[in-house]
Amino acid sequence: MKPPQFEYQRVLTIEDAIEALATNESTAILAGGQSLIPTLNFRLGMPDNLIDISRIPSLSQIELTETEITIGAMVRQRQVELHDDIKQANPILRETLAHVAHLVIRNRGTLVGSLAHADAAAELPAVLLACGGRVVVVGPNGERSIAADDFFRFHLTTDLKPNELITAASFPVLPPDAGWAFGEMARRRGDYAIAGVCVILRIDSSGNCTDANLGACGIASRPVRLLEAERILIGNRLEVDVIDAAGEAAREAVQAPDDNQASLAYRQQVLATLVRRNVARAAARAGAPHE
């Protein structure tokens, strides 16, 4: 398999990248290339122009504040996975990245690139959604911030305009008393998920759940929040019957039709099981120090 013919352009500044995007509507951004290159090889994408942003220094930065982790568009997934300060601030990122593809791919693939690719079965978009994160984009009209709820539109489709570039993704720092867990089911380790769930919750001193965010992948045409499951958890003690009810409610969020990976009924069963297991794991971690 070989990619279609294209013009290659390496840019050294964000301004140059925006200018290059404006000169040709049929353009693709090359960062880590772990999603883009297979797409080109299979002729699923046939851009006229490829813009390489790997030499823009500002895109390789990681910034941590008391409330937010900002990850530049050229930061590799493995860098985030091994970053101890990020693990302390938001440990679900490391836990999730262990499920993303294979080590050799995470060494080259960028975290922002996975978000931009927006595969409905990918893990990182679901995590950004559950965390309430955002992406920062720059275009001819300046910079704007897009919340995860608004960014993912459909499979491989986002709110990004053709003349805009994602420069960073931001994830909140989890409160010290937050519990977290990520789990997925895939045919083989490293494959895209048949279903996956990210759980972030908080429990008060009386044992009641005060906040719950559940993001799922692999079950619809985009990553989705499991709103009904969240509603069942919030305000209740996380006993077995409540967790089971949340798992059953999550079944209704599955919209993916039968395919060669799984049937609708199988995905529903997998998601319900994942919700039960990972809500229980997150609840056990709530209030425990980030290891």
Q: In this structure, is residue 192 part of a structural domain?
A: yes
pLDDT value for 61: 98
8: left (phi over 0), alpha (psi -120 to 50) or beta: beta
pLDDT value for 59: 98
Average pLDDT over the chain reads 96
Q: Which domain holds residue 272?
A: 178-285
Tokens of 63: 């910034």
Given 172, 191, 219, the domain boundary residue is: 172
By the 10 Å C-beta count (0-12 exposed, 13-18 middle, 19+ buried), 201 is classed as: buried
pLDDT value for 284: 96
Distance of alpha carbon 81 from alpha carbon 114, whole angstroms: 14
pLDDT digits (tens, 9 = 90+) for 109-166: 999 999 999 999 999 999 999 999 999 999 999 999 999 999 999 999 999 999 999 9
pLDDT value for 72: 98
Angle at which helix 264-285 crosses helix 240-250, to 10 degrees, equals 140
Q: In this structure, is residue 243 part of a structural domain?
A: yes
Same domain, 38 and 80: no
Structurally, the chain folds into a number of domains equal to 3
Q: What is the pTM of this model?
A: 0.95
Same domain, 107 and 85: yes
CATH of the domain at 258: 3.30.390.50
Residue matched to tokens 């798992």: 247
Given 172, 193, 209, the domain boundary residue is: 172
Q: In this structure, is residue 21 part of a structural domain?
A: yes
pLDDT value for 4: 87
Q: What's the per-residue H, E or C state across the chain?
A: CCCCCCEEEECCCHHHHHHHHHHCCCEEEECCCCCHHHHHHCCCCCCCEEEECCCCHHHHCEEECCCEEEEECCCEHHHHHHCHHHHHHCCHHHHHHCCCCCHHHHHHCEHHHHHHHCCCCCHHHHHHHHHCCEEEEEECCEEEEEEHHHHEEECCEECCCCCCEEEEEEEECCCCCEEEEEEEECCCCCCCCCEEEEEEEEECCCCEEEEEEEEEECCCCCCEECHHHHHHHCCCECCHHHHHHHHHHHHHHCCCCCCCCCCHHHHHHHHHHHHHHHHHHHHHHCCCCCC
Same domain, 168 and 254: no
Given 172, 204, 235, the domain boundary residue is: 172
Same domain, 119 and 164: yes
pLDDT value for 290: 67
Residue 50, pLDDT > 60, answer yes
Same domain, 39 and 74: no
Q: Which of 3-7, 85-89, 96-100, 103-107 has the lowest mean pLDDT?
A: 3-7
Q: Which of 234, 220, 133, 131 is nearest to 181 (CA)?
A: 131
Same domain, 183 and 82: no
Distance of alpha carbon 159 from alpha carbon 147, whole angstroms: 10
Residue 291, pLDDT > 60, answer no
Same domain, 186 and 151: no
CATH of the domain at 151: 3.30.465.10
Same domain, 120 and 89: yes
Same domain, 167 and 65: yes
Distances 261 to 186, 224, 257 between C-alpha atoms, Å? 9, 19, 10
Q: In this structure, is residue 242 part of a structural domain?
A: yes
Same domain, 182 and 267: yes
Q: In this structure, is residue 1 part of a structural domain?
A: no
Q: In this structure, is residue 2 part of a structural domain?
A: no
Q: In this structure, is residue 69 part of a structural domain?
A: yes
Residue 47, pLDDT > 70, answer yes
Same domain, 69 and 45: no
Q: In this structure, is residue 290 part of a structural domain?
A: no
